[in-house]
Amino acid sequence: MIGQSPLRIFIAHAMLLLGIVVVAFPIYYTFVASTQTLQTILKPPLPMLPGDQFWNNYGEALFGGVGRMGGVSVGRLLLNTTIMALGIAVGKIFISILSAYAIVFFRFPMRMVFFWLIFITLMLPVEVRILPTYKVMVELGLIDTYAGLIIPLIASATATLLFRQFFMTIPGELLEAARVDGAGPWRFFFDILLPLSRTNIAALFVILFIYGWTQYLWPLLVTNSNDMNTIVIALRKMVSFADADTQWHLVMVTAMLAIVPPILVVVVMQRWFVRGLVESEK
Amino acid sequence: MATVDLNEVKKVYPGGVEAVKGVSIAIPDKALCVLVGPSGCGKSTLLRMIAGLETISAGTVAFDGKVVNTIGPTERDIAMVFQNYALYPHMKVYDNMAYGLRNRGTPRDEIDRRVRSTAEMLELSGLLDRRPRELSGGQRQRVAMGRAVVRDPKVFLFDEPLSNLDAKLRGQMRVEIKNLQRSLGVTSVYVTHDQLEAMTLADVLVVMNGGLVEQSGAALDIYERPASTFVASFIGAPPMNLLPLVGGQAGPALGDGTTVGLAPAGAATIGFRPEDADIEFGTDLPSDALVLPASVEAVEPVGAESFLHCQAGGGRIVVRVAGRTRVSVGDRLRVVCVAAKLHWFDQAGRRVG
């Protein structure tokens, strides 16, 4: 960007600022709404500045859940969602890294058949197999359990493919050096492959955690009890059809709280994998 | 410390490609054996079979007389230096060197002692806390060597270890490898496509071509008595001059009609080294020599010597003359080579006489 005219710099910045406003304003407005009383929200126009109900609203949402949402506090909802999102992210990484390891580094009969089987499942969206999956979960008695929330979403063809592509860039000499150094398959996996995959794991974890966090359809089906709801489901349940019945200020608070953990994950993990990217250079 | 014996070793890949077609080599204890040949001659495959990284289709590999065909690289007690170093990128130099020992369950203080003394020997002491990407090519090469040395194995295997270094560093490392190997006294197998490297390093030189051994022996013996036209043109730089002989009425003759009275029966090709030939302007010619009228096409002065590229005997030949030369392009002169320095090869390229 050397030798750019001031006008072009100005236009570039204006575009960036516009982009930020478009993305950030709804979130800001949600935050503003979450600090107002219900009366203020229901009486338009909504002020542009935060109100004075921050402590009241957030306190009530976090700790005063009785009578609202079937007696489930936001804390409980956040816990449920965190367990589910972590379970999905960790499980997907665990399974896909192992299957990619098998496919890339081992010669066994029907290797390519298995690879293509995994690949083909990419083309089957969750919605297509949702009814049979639901039936299986019912029969296994996994409705309203964390296992029921996590296990059906845990296999990932995409992550397997990503790890496969990465493993294939690892020079064969490295594997041979490890073999000469007396490292068996497990040693090679833990001592060499896993440390080298750090950045890929970090990047995938961020993506998969958010994928898990924002799941809607499956948790809606597999949880009946309010205790096991995820925060996304609970948010929807809080909005009733009659506008006046809806505790809009608490809905806004819950929405804000639902955003926080994914943001934390992104912020924390981003530092991790940016450092990893710089380190693995060359 | 071990002898390495290859007996009719073959490698056939699935699909029927025969990479190594039956190779037998006996490497004495503490010797450095160099496998040299053009790419695709099977030398790397052979090395990998010795290492245990590649299965052996037929024949046997034995260390100290014990066949090791079916045991893995770890149990064979070998150490290998790879072409691209194959250092573990996420480990420090110290850990790179210690990794093999740790996997063998060597006690921690023993590992530390060995890594540090090896590092000292290879002048790596100041680099133990660095990671491979923070090292220069030469330093990485040293670490790769160190990783092999620290294990104190029965056999060292080198797979073109110097091919990624620049010419100057390569010459330097070549000497170091030779000294290291000699002082440690570990039997070694070294693969290269560089004939200079092969000549200077080898106790036993093995020239390979098309999955077979063309010739093996001491480097200078091979240089002086190449067993085939392939070896003659592969070993030596510039390579040996080879001119085909055709049968004429007055006996064998070269492409330009010069008769060659010296030719033994069955000879189809005549060969002589650029340094064994000389140029002659006068008429006082030795009787027992090959004399070829030649015209100079190019002159390459390199300081201590000059190479004259000439058209002679129906082909192109190179003649080495010492120091500067007065000869210039277009000159007509005679190339002379005494009979004792001539090589003869038959129709199949095999040595005659």
Cβ–Cβ contacts within 10 Å for residue B275, how many?
16
- What is the secondary structure of B258-292 as a DSSP string? -B-TTPPTT--EEEE-TTT-EEE-SS---SSEEEE
Nearest Cβ partner of B84 from A171, A182, A281? A171
Selecting from A176, A183, A198 the residue whose C-beta is nearest the C-beta of B103 gives: A183
Q: How confident is the model at residue A278 (pLDDT cuts 50, 70, 90)?
A: low
Which of the pair, A65 or B266, is modelled with greater confidence? B266
A176 with B80: Cβ contact below 8 A: yes
Nearest by CB to residue A182, choosing from B87, B89, B104, is B104
Q: Give burial (CB, 10 Å; 0-12/13-18/19+) of B178.
A: middle
CA dist A58 and A40 (Å) reads 16
The answer to whether A277 and A203 are in contact (CB under 8 A) is no
**Chain B residues inside the 8 Å CB shell of A280:** 89
Is A224 touching B (CB cutoff 8 A)? no
pLDDT score, position B6: 93
pLDDT of residue B334 exceeding 60, the answer is: yes
- Which residues of chain B are within 8 Å of residue A198 when distances are taken between CB atoms? 90
SS3 B236: coil
Q: In the predicted model, is pLDDT for residue A277 greater than 60? A: no
Q: Do B80 and A180 touch (CB under 8 A)?
A: yes
A107 has a chain B CB within 8 A of its CB = no
Looking at domain B4-233, its CATH superfamily turns out to be P-loop containing nucleotide triphosphate hydrolases (3.40.50.300)
Q: What contacts B246, CB < 8 A, 6 or more positions away? A: B252, B253, B254, B255
Judged by a CB distance cut-off of 8 A, whether residue A132 touches chain B is: no
pLDDT value at residue A272: 72
Distance from C-alpha of B71 to C-alpha of B69, rounded to nearest angstrom: 6
Contacts of B115 (CB under 8 A, 6+ apart): B94, B97, B98, B101, B128, B150
Please give the pLDDT value at position A57: 79
* pLDDT tens-place string over residues B202-238: 999 999 999 999 999 999 999 999 999 999 999 988 8
Supply the DSSP string of A20-51, one letter for each residue: HHHHHHHHHHHHHHHTS-HHHHHSSSPPSS--
Residues on chain A touching B150 (C-beta within 8 angstroms): none
Instruction: Examine the pLDDT at A129 and tell me if it is beyond 90.
Output: no
Per-residue pLDDT tens digits for A27-44: 898 888 888 887 777 777
Task: Mark yes or no for CB contact A179/B99 under 8 Å.
Answer: no
Question: pTM surpassing 0.90?
Answer: no
Name the average pLDDT for chain B.
90
Contacts of A276 (CB under 8 A, 6+ apart): A198, A199, A202
Nearest to A174 among B74, B78, B86 (CB): B86
B22-56 per-position pLDDT tens digit: 999 999 999 999 999 999 899 999 999 999 999 99
My answer on whether omega of the bond before B238 falls inside 30° of 0, hence cis, is yes
Nearest chain B residue to A173 by CA: give it: B86
The shortest C-alpha distance from A189 to chain B (Å) reads 13
b/e string for B200-232 if b means 16 or more Cβ within 10 A?
ebbbbbbbbbebebbbbeebeebbeebbbbbbb
Predicted local confidence at residue A69, as pLDDT: 58
Domain ranges within chain B, ordered by starting residue: 4-233, 240-345
Indicate which of A176, A180, A191 best probes the interface with B, i.e. most B CBs within 10 Å of its own CB: A180
Instruction: Enter the tokens of residue A195.
Output: 């440390």
The per-residue pLDDT for range B42-92, each reduced to its tens digit, is 999 999 999 999 999 999 999 999 999 999 888 899 999 999 989 999 999
> What are the structure tokens assigned to B235, written together?
């070993």
Q: Answer yes or no: same fold for B4-233 and B240-345.
A: no
ipTM of the complex: 0.83
Q: Which residues of A touch B74 (CB under 8 A)?
A: 179-182
Strand partners, B294: B312, B333
- HSE-CB at A97 with a 13 A cutoff on CA atoms is 20
**Three-state SS string across B53-78, please?**
CCCCCEEEEEECCEECCCCCHHHHCE
Report the DSSP pairing between strands B269-272 and B343-345.
antiparallel
Q: Residue B193: is its pLDDT beyond 60?
A: yes
| Opening angle at CA B303, ends B335 and B341, nearest 5 | 30
Check whether A55 has a pLDDT greater than 90: no
What is chain B's alpha carbon radius of gyration, rounded to the nearest angstrom? Answer: 24
In angstroms, what separates the C-alpha of A172 from chain B's closest C-alpha? 9
Token pair listed for A117: 């089987």
Q: How far is CA B280 from CA A261, B238, B287, B336, in A?
A: 90, 21, 13, 7
Q: Which of B53, B100, B133 sits opposite A176 (nearest CB)?
A: B53
Q: Is the pLDDT of residue A1 over 70?
A: no
Interface membership of B172 toward A (CB under 8 Å): no
* Terminal alpha carbon distance of chain A: 25
A-chain residues within 8 Å CB-CB of B151?
181
- CATH number attached to the domain at B240-345: 2.40.50.140
Q: What is the pLDDT of residue A66?
A: 46
At B140-157, the pLDDT tens digits run 999 999 999 999 899 999
- Are B147 and A181 inside 8 Å of each other by CB? yes
- Specify the DSSP element, H or E, that contains A237: helix A231-238
Q: Judge whether B36 and B192 are in contact, CB under 8 Å.
A: yes
For position B234, what pLDDT does the model report? 92
Please report the sign of the dihedral spanned by the C-alpha atoms of residue A53, residue A54, residue A55, residue A59: positive
Taking the C-alpha atoms of residue B206 and residue B203, their distance in angstroms, rounded to an integer, is: 10
**Two tokens at A50?**
């935060």
Q: Do B100 and A180 make contact, defined as CB atoms within 8 angstroms? A: yes
Across the interface, of A171, A173, A180, the residue whose CB is closest to B78 is A180
Q: A179 and B74 in contact by Cβ < 8 A?
A: yes
Instruction: Determine contact, residues A85/A260, Cβ cutoff 8 Å.
Output: no
Distance CA A3, CA A11 (A): 15
Residue A67 has pLDDT above 60, yes or no: no
Hey, is the C-beta of A176 within 8 angstroms of any chain B C-beta?
Answer: yes
Chain B closest-CA separation from residue A197 CA (Å): 10
> Is the predicted pLDDT of residue A135 greater than 80, yes or no?
yes
Cα distances (Å, whole numbers) of residue B240 to A56, B75, B333, B341: 95, 44, 20, 11
pLDDT of A243 > 70? The answer is: no
* Residue with more model confidence, A52 or A184: A184
Nearest-CA residue of chain A relative to B157? A180
- In which band, very low, low, confident or very high, does the pLDDT at A282 lie, cut at 50, 70 and 90? very low
- Which pLDDT score, from 0 to 100, does residue A242 have? 59
Strands B246-248 and B332-338: unpaired
Q: Which residues lie across from B20 on neighbouring strands?
A: B11
Closest B-chain CA to A174: B86
Is the confidence at residue A280, as pLDDT, over 80? no
Half-sphere exposure of A151 (CA within 13 A, CB side): 14
Residue B202 distance to chain A (closest CA, Å):
24
Asked if B256 and B287 count as a contact pair (C-beta separation under 8 A), the reply is no
Residues 216-245 of B with CB under 8 A from A: none
Contact B73 A195 (CB under 8 A): no
Tally A–B CB contacts below 8 A: 60
C-alpha distance from A150 to closest chain B C-alpha (Å): 33
